[in-house]
Structure 1
């Protein structure tokens, strides 16, 4: 199962990197609009909180122990939270910068608001996919390493009885 451990580490590193990118890009936007009403920034605040929680859990669960695979329900819930953040950001963009996945005209020079938002949306989606893959890997690992319980087959032998 070294392959599962290696894949888990790769997924956790990707989750950490994607969450850090989203937190950085989104945090830059939040710091530029400090005087705005918090109700208007609810989507961005939610995305920033999800990114912060994901950074914490990706660091904690990065170490390759077999116990890290049993967290698949939390991985699935975090994946759903990322998909919600993705949907909220896509709805907030509302076609103001063209189609969400239209990457023509993206540049590093000039105003980067559209480029920044499209990158934030893309990395939020990639993070959701990585957390979902981590949950699927956890389900696979748990199913593979749990023995089926059958009342007739697995009986505990008393320690004082002879083997004869």
Structure 2
């Protein structure tokens, strides 16, 4: 059980880092387009809202009392939300004529071009969705394993329910 706790903690740290990066990159774009219509920025507003929600839940689930793994449906929902944001941002990159979504040349060369920032935002959005999906799979697996152990008459720590410690 300790290995799953360590893995869950590492996944939460990754989720927090990637969601924070998505929030920062998306917020930077929203700030630079401050005077334009909100209707043209709807996909970025959605991405920013999902990133903020993901940061909130990642911080909540990092707390020591949240180690029960019953929150895997929220992880699955956030993973799906990030995949939707990924699709929305990928469609926007296609409209901007930034080349292929999977062409990463020039993204790390110190380029501050708009296309490089969009592609970085897209990459971190994808990574956040993968980490939330991995956390959901881990949580679902742990919950299923604990339920199966209890049905078999063995508790979560390998003890029979009727055995006395006296």
With normalisation by structure 2, the TM-score equals 0.85
Contact 1:61 1:68 in 2 (8 A): no
Q: SS of 1:35's equivalent?
A: coil
> Which runs of 5 or more structure 1 residues have no equivalent in the other structure?
151-155, 158-164
| Match in the other structure for 2:53 | 53
Displacement of 1:90 in angstroms is: 0.2
Rg larger in structure: 1
Please report the RMSD computed on the Cα atoms of aligned residues, expressed in angstroms: 1.9
Q: Please give the per-residue CA displacement for 1:66-85, whole angstroms capped at 9, x wherever unaligned.
A: 64410011110110000000
Partner residue of 1:19? 19
Deviation sequence 1:65-118 (CA, Å, 0-9, x none): 464410011110110000000000001111611111111233214x42111110
Kindly tell me: are residues 127 and 83 of structure 1, through their superposed partners in 2, closer, same or farther at Cα, counting changes over 3 Å? same
- Structure 2: 5+ residue runs without aligned partners? 154-160
CA distance in 1, matches of 2:85, 2:68: 25
**Preserved contact between residue 83 and residue 126 of structure 2 (Cα < 8 Å):** yes
Give 1:73's aligned residue: 73
Aligned to 2:88: 88
4+ residue runs of structure 1 moved beyond 2 angstroms? 63-68
In 1, the alpha carbon distance for the partners of 2:106 and 2:79 equals: 30
Whole-angstrom CA distance in 2 between matches of 1:103 and 1:66: 37
1:52 offset after TM fit, Å? 0.3
Match of residue 133 from structure 1: 134
Q: Which residue in the other structure is 2:63 paired with?
A: 63
Aligned to 2:151: 148
The answer to which structure, 1 or 2, has the higher relative contact order (CA under 8 A, 6+ apart) is 1
- CA distance, structure 2, for counterparts of residue 64 and residue 116 of structure 1: 35
Q: Flag the structure with higher helix content.
A: 2
